[in-house]
Structure 1
Amino acid sequence: MALQDTGTDTDRFVREWHDWHERHESARADRHGFLAITGVHWLTGEPERFDDAPGAWSTGPDGVVVTLDDGEELVVDGSPVRGEHRFGVLAERGGAIATWGDAVIEVAKRGGLDIVRPRHPDHPLRTGYHGTPAYEPDPRWVVTGRYATFDEPRPTTVGSVAEGLRHVYEAPGRIDFELEGRALSLTAFPGLLVLFTDATAGDTTYAACRELHVEAPGADGTVTLDFNRAVNLPCAYTDFATCPLPPAENRLPVAITAGEKIPYERAR
């Protein structure tokens, strides 16, 4: 439900937004967050070594395997591993984490393919990060909608910023709402995650996608979409991301001048 636009309520709304965005920025700049990714390596059946991770990596029917040379070591689940280590078959959008000195080695499955993504805290993208520009928070972009659950989750295939990659989500429902006098709808993914673009995409906001997390609906199905809290996905910052693109119905024909803008790193 939108806040009343009184001076006191608006001041509180603005303070709460700035507090939230500061926490979001802090999490984004975590020493092992996506800004620390130094490469994305697509695994095959042929063992391969990479400059930013130890060992020779491969994948097959039994999952991801790394073979470490003498003197090489990873820490997995708190225990050091040497020689051959099997991560097993990974779940889609799941993965495992290993540590190597002050770096983290992410092992994951995206679009049915296994990848290795090392994260080094001293990566220049992270150490040089100085925040993301955003529109000033405005209560008029807090919109009440209604969540409609599908009879059964709908498998929804979307593209990716990674060429040739496809993501499949089991969409549980959609959110209907009005904005600027227009009836609009957004397909929601699990956790009421909404991926969308609008008429600002490629102009003031990142062209590929933004995301918005929506809290659980009320007993009557109402939800609140606070577009002030629309944020960028990792692909807005790094070329080593595999972010999904929004489904076609989530490309809104209105300009939502709220939320995060194109990162400074992409505007150069």
Structure 2
Amino acid sequence: MTSDLAPSASADAARSTRAFAEDWQEWHRRHEAARADRHGFLAVAGLHWLTGEAQRFPGVPGEWRTGKDGPVVTLADDEEIVVDGRRVRERHQFGAIAERAGITVEIDGGVLEVARRGGHDILRPRRPDHPLRTRYQGTPTYPPAERWVLQGRFVPFDRPRPTTVGAAVEGLQHVYDAPGRIEFSVDGLPLSLTAFNGATPGSLSVLFTDTTSGVTTYGANRSLTVGAPDEQGRVTLDFNRAVNLPCAYTDFATCPLPPTENRLPVAVEAGEKIPFDRLAADLAARP
């Protein structure tokens, strides 16, 4: 009887593994498509910092300044922007922009992100024909492996902890409220990660590095989205879905760095690797 059942069990395991890989491939295909969107971060063509003094920036219409009431643009007679579908000429007051928020306006040849990062108002033009986007080859990854789908437990703090982290831009800092930490283990080694709130209600977001960082994976950070904990605080960490942040691709990003305690002392050989363009640039810069 054992010999009759073994092939069936083996076939079931093979189907499960194949389904797992196909599910991951479909997820990563969607992720890559979003990344390469015509106005996504691969289209970012500049990073400009606003001050109280009126300034012009290459490829951006108008003179820009900011203050306590937020960014203001003054447009020349032959210039315009489109805000919420409305053509704007002469002058426009955006109002104060919340931290990590932004407004996207249309400009000739693309769009312009007017945003606030690390306590500073910034402009980032996004153009579909930017070379970083048009030559994008995709991002290399580790093969999906079920061993990197780990079970963990979310441990909430008594109250959210304001957590200051560095940024991809030197001298810039971000502050996030951390609701708790995630405890888990890798090959019997107990580990934990400070978690921030995710993009959807109840979900969590983790920034981390590990011993592959700067070797096969991007050195500054990777990000992992974790679903909402269940009633017992249980969560699943699928490191196959660890992804690069924009700073892995462009120097025009202000990405946060992981908290010090999120530097894992293990090799997480799962998820996205160093992008092709970044790897080529790093190799070219070496003596």
TM-score bracket, shorter-length normalisation: over 0.9
Q: Which amino acid aligns with 2:217?
A: T
Distance across 1 between alignment mates of 2:108 and 2:121: 23
Question: 1:166 aligned to 2:178?
Answer: no
Identity %: 65
Which of residues 29, 53, 77 in structure 2 aligns to 1:46?
53
Match of 1:263 in 2: 275
- 2:194 maps to 187
AA at the equivalent of 1:92: E
- For 2:73 and 2:110, locate their aligned partners in 1 and report how far apart those are by CA, in whole Å: 16
Q: Which residue of 1 aligns with 2:5?
A: none
User: Runs of 5+ in structure 2 lacking a partner?
Assistant: 1-11, 199-203, 281-287
Q: Verify: 1:247 aligned to 2:259, yes or no.
A: yes
Match of 2:90 among 83, 86, 101: 83
Instruction: Find the counterpart in structure 2 of residue 201 from structure 1.
Output: 213
Greater CA deviation, 246-255 or 97-106? 97-106
- Deviation for aligned residue 1:123: 0.2
5+ residue gaps, structure 1: none
Larger radius of gyration: 2
1:1-268 pair list within 5 angstroms: 6-191=13-198, 192-268=204-280
RMSD, matched Cα = 0.8
Higher helix share: 2
Give the CA deviation at 1:95.
1.2
Alignment check: 8 A CA contact 1:97 1:104 kept: yes
Q: Name the TM-score, length of structure 2 as normaliser.
A: 0.91
3-state DSSP class of the match of 1:175?
A: strand
Matched pairs, number: 264
In the superposition, the TM-score normalised over structure 1's length comes to: 0.97
CA distance in 2, matches of 1:71, 1:224: 55
> Are the equivalent residues in 2 in contact too, given 1:38–1:52 (CA < 8 A)?
no
Matches of 2:51 and 2:20 in 1, distance apart? 50
CA deviation map 1:208-248 (0-9, x unaligned):
00000000111111000000000000000000000000000
- Structure scoring higher RCO (CA < 8 A, sep ≥ 6) equals 1
Q: What CA distance in whole angstroms lies between the structure 2 residues aligned with 1:61 and 1:227?
A: 42
| Contact 1:188/1:194 (8 A) holds in 2 | yes
Which amino acid in 2 is paired with 1:261? K
Secondary structure of the structure 2 residue equivalent to 1:6: helix
Distance 1:194 1:6 in 2: 31
How many angstroms apart in 2 are the aligned matches of 1:138 and 1:34? 28
CA distance in 1, matches of 2:130, 2:173: 28
- Alpha-carbon separation, structure 1, partners of 2:274 and 2:102: 29
